[in-house]
Each structure stands twice: as structure tokens, then as C-alpha cells.
Amino acid sequence: MTGRPFTLIAAIIFGLMALVHVYRLMTGFQVVIGTHVLGQGLSWVAVAVAAVLSFGLFREAMR
């Protein structure tokens, strides 16, 4: 068991968000905010950022 449950929860949330962006990339799901359509390139960046944060938080939680 880990001594840092909130860090582990944050790592899981970031991991899930990375998976949501991978899903968006695979299905071509469009995100529209107002009249603006967010491009697929944004999801590539979001996958990278969320995955790195999730990995780092998992490592920190297991210390």
C-alpha cells in the first residue's frame, strides 16, 4: 500500500485523461468550443503531457 493516496489518485486521473485523448485520436472525435474546433494536434500534445505527468506521479506515489 502506498503512503501517498492523493498522489496516486492524481496519477490515475492523468492516466485516464491520456487514454481519453488517445480515444479521440483513434476515433476522430471532434471537440468544439463555441465556434472553434480544436485540432487533433492538441490531443497529441495532451497525450504526451498527461502521460508524463501520470508516470511521474505514479513513481512519486510508490516512494
Q: What is the pLDDT of residue 46?
A: 96
CA 63, CA 50: separation in Å to the nearest integer? 20
Does residue 41 register a pLDDT over 60? yes
Q: What is the pLDDT of residues 4-35, one digit of tens each?
A: 889 999 999 999 999 999 999 999 989 999 99
CA 54, CA 17: separation in Å to the nearest integer? 9
Q: What is the pLDDT of residue 35?
A: 95
CA 12, CA 33: separation in Å to the nearest integer? 26
The pTM score is 0.84
